[in-house]
Structures are given as C-alpha cells and as structure tokens.
Amino acid sequence: MSERPYTMLSCSVSLDGYLGDRTPRLALSNAADFERVDEVRASCDAIMVGAATVRTDNPRLLVRSQARRDERTARGLPSSPKKITVSERVDLDEHSNFFTAGEAEKLIYTSTGRVKDARRRLGPVATIVDAGRRVRMRRLCEDLADRGVGRLMVEGGGIVHTQFLSDDLVDELQLVVAPFFVGDSNAPRFVSDGRFPWNAGRRATLADVRQIGDVVLLRYALSPRFQGT
Ligand SMILES: NC(=O)c1ccc[n+]([C@@H]2O[C@H](COP(=O)([O-])OP(=O)(O)OC[C@H]3O[C@@H](n4cnc5c(N)ncnc54)[C@H](OP(=O)(O)O)[C@@H]3O)[C@@H](O)[C@H]2O)c1
C-alpha cells in the first residue's frame, strides 16, 4: 500500500457552523474565495464529495479557470482532477454533473454487496471500486494513493468530513467562515458527532488566518505533513 495522499479538507460554514440551509448550493463564500478554491483544486489530483452532496448540489467539480486548466494540461495532467464519491445506496443520477462534466476519471467507492448493482447502473460513466464489507476512509485513501493520487481535496459534506477528521486522515483544514447565520438545526453541519483527535486537551494548530472580503479563511495544520506556504 502507498502512503495516503496529502489531504486538504476545504469547506465554508455559516457563523453557526452549518454547511448550507437545505437548499442546493447556498453561497456561503464570495467570488474571491471561489477563485482561491479554484487554485487549490488545480493543485490536486482528486476531489472528493459525499453522495448527498452530488445529489443536492449537483456540483461540476472542475477547475474553472482556463489558464489553470491549460497549465495542468501542459504538465501532462487532465484539465481537472479525478472526481471521487462514496455511496452505500449508489442512488446517483448518471446525468448529474459529477458524471457528465469534464474528462477526468470518476470513481465511486461502495461496499462489496452493492458493487454488482452499481456497475450495472453506473459502470458506463464511472469506475466502481469495491471497498470491502464497509467503506472505510483510511482504506479508500490508500486505494487512491495506489491509483496515483498524491494530493486529495475533500469538499464535503458533513458526513464525509466527520469520517476523515475522526479517522485522522486530514493534513490541512481550510475553513471559511461566512458572515451570516443559517439558524436551522436540521441543516447539514460542518461535522456530526464523533471522536475527533483534537479536543480541549489536544488543540489543533492554527497555521494561518486570512480575511478575504467579507469571509475569513482559517487554515489549520492537522498533521506533521502540513505544507504551509
Ligand atoms: N458549505 C460547503 O462548503 C459545502 C460543501 C459540500 C457540501 N455542502 C452541503 O452539505 C450537504 C450534504 O452533506 P451531508 O453531510 O448531508 O452528506 P455528504 O457527506 O455529502 O454525503 C453523505 C452520503 O455519502 C455516502 N457515504 C458517506 N460515508 C459513507 C461510507 N463510509 N460508506 C458508504 N457511503 C458513505 C452516503 O451516501 P448514500 O446515501 O448514497 O449511501 C451518505 O448518505 C449538502 O446540503 C451540501 O449543500 C456544503
């Protein structure tokens, strides 16, 4: 097994810690920050989101800037990173942007029992990866490394965040805080309940704070592998 990819978890949250408001794609961030995120995306080999995010937000998960796409192509890379999702139900629309936008490979990790059905329905548009009896993020990361992924960007949602953080698989957290409240406890949260490696007795390292217009970017170094710039 290869060493797991350098992993960045990137998301934006409201002042009360929500990822959205139950409507698709609530804009928590601003244009300048979307531009920053695009640059980070362009530096990665793969972008991962949970199946609920694929269903709710219908994200394209592409590098938007033509200059950055050209720069990747000149380096012999696909213009955008691979797209990764994880699903148990594999109830995903083959016409969603996750599958139809961009040329890069799309991978779905699911449990052994779901593979046959997933390949029948989505085999033509994605690589279905048998992740064993239950999908575990550590094993998923090792498999991605075996597939040549050196840098991974995890972009939501909260269920996926919770597993990556509680399994100590994140090297860098990029948390953007938007200047408003959602105020709905049924909305998706940044993370759900879990046993996280960082607590009152073991505080995370705040590596950088940057104001970007009306939002703030907090960068946390969560492992000794943190690549601060
Ligand atoms: N603000 C931001 O930066 C941001 C970013 C991304 C998303 N969001 C928001 O976040 C919300 C979605 O977040 P969420 O927490 O509800 O869901 P999520 O993390 O996007 O996806 C959860 C789903 O992923 C699959 N999954 C996760 N772990 C799995 C495992 N170990 N094995 C098998 N399948 C697994 C399951 O899919 P199945 O149900 O298919 O089995 C599960 O229901 C959306 O409202 C979206 O708008 C916000």
- Cα angle 164, 91, 146 (rounded to 5 degrees) comes to 45
The tens digit of pLDDT for each residue in 27-49 reads 999 999 999 999 999 999 999 99
Dihedrals phi, psi of 193, to nearest 5 degrees: -60, 145
Q: Is 97:58 a contact under the CB 8 Å cutoff?
A: yes
Centroid of ligand 1 to alpha carbon of 210 (angstroms): 27
Query: In this model, does residue 21 exceed pLDDT 70?
Result: yes
What pLDDT does residue 1 have? 55
87 CB under 6 A from ligand 1?
yes
pLDDT category, 25, cuts 50, 70, 90?
A: confident
14 CB under 6 A from ligand 1?
no
Mean pLDDT of the chain: 96
29 CB under 6 A from ligand 1?
no
State which ligand 1 atom lies nearest to the alpha carbon of 156. 6
The tens digit of pLDDT for each residue in 101-125 reads 999 999 999 999 999 999 999 999 9
Q: Is 37:59 a contact under the CB 8 Å cutoff?
A: no
